[in-house]
Amino acid sequence: LRRENKSYAEGSAAPAKAAVLGAGIMGGGVAYQSASTGTPILMKDISDGAIEAGLKESDRLMLGQVMRGRMKPEDALKTCRRIEPRLDYYGFDSADFVVEAVVENLNVKRAVLAEVEQQVGEATVLATNTSTLTVKEMQDAVQRPENLCGMHFFNPVHRMPLVEIVKGELTSDETVSRAVSYALAMKKLPIVVKDCSGFLVNRILFAYTRAFFELVNEGVDFSRIDRLMEKFGWPMGPAALNDMVGMDTCVHASKIVGDAYPDRMSDFRNAADLLLEAGRLGQKSGAGFYRYE
């Protein structure tokens, strides 16, 4: 992969200034990762509350790094200064790379991409962080589809090394190359993948969680499966993973991927649906499969 990435990134530079749309779990994580590795970034959302939550999360991550001795306090300060929160597009004209990390809704993403394209220069890369939609579904929403690609980070962004770079049918090689360069500058391991629902990792992951839900429906204790998968060597089991990602996100995403591959991944009513209906979203609501203090 390293050799492959070197050839993709050849001749292209990391952005001098980036922007991220959405200050949620992923947008906030991308802003922190970009800023802490030296690339200044504008972080735009539509409400004060969302911006505040994004900044709070990045402060929390920084404090954690400082407390563990992994970041000097002066570097934490520099990181803070590299994140510029915004409720408008001021400053976007000088951003050469935009990561779109708004809600997983095709119409919202298409509208946001069309809007931001009007605010940036002609050469600015637009990268969608969608997990389950395709670049193809968004390409005719923009005037310059050659500048549009996917850049799929994983949650939590600061800890997960892999980033999928998605080449749509109209994405230029230069755009792919610039996305690979940005991922490398963020100290991530990019992998260039084809454009399909779930890309590479989520196609595998959804098949795995589908098998987990089948077992739970058959009456197997979810916590035993978690313990077993941990013994197998995975950092966490499928129930804990669902709790971390959030039941709302999991259910929504698995419906989209299920629709994309009806013969192989048809959706069925499972424990995540029941937990969602009961308001047990996972870590973010204090309870999911497990309880969180």
Report how far apart, in Å, the C-alpha atoms of 95 and of each of 57, 86, 258 are: 23, 13, 36
Catalytic residue among 82, 109, 110, 152: 152
Which residue's CB is nearer to ligand NAD, number 17 or number 252? 252
Q: Binding marks (x or -) toward ligand NAD, 77..116, rule CB under 6 A?
A: ------------------------xxxx---x---x----
Position 46 contacts ligand NAD (CB under 6 A): yes
- Enumerate residues 153-192 that contact ligand NAD by CB under 6 A: 153-155
Q: Which among 6-14, 42-50, 142-150, 163-171 is the span making contact with ligand NAD, rule CB under 6 A? A: 42-50
- Residue pair 251/273 in contact by the 8 Å Cβ criterion: yes
Look at strands 148-153 and 162-167 and give their pairing. antiparallel
Position 45 contacts ligand NAD (CB under 6 A): yes
Out of 14, 18, 20, 25, name the contact with ligand NAD by CB under 6 A.
25
Annotation says 158 is catalytic = no
Q: Binding marks (x or -) toward ligand NAD, 226..265, rule CB under 6 A?
A: -------------------x---x----------------
Please give the positions annotated as active site: 152
Binding site for ligand NAD (CB under 6 A): 21-27, 44-47, 50, 101-104, 108, 112, 129-131, 153-155, 245, 249
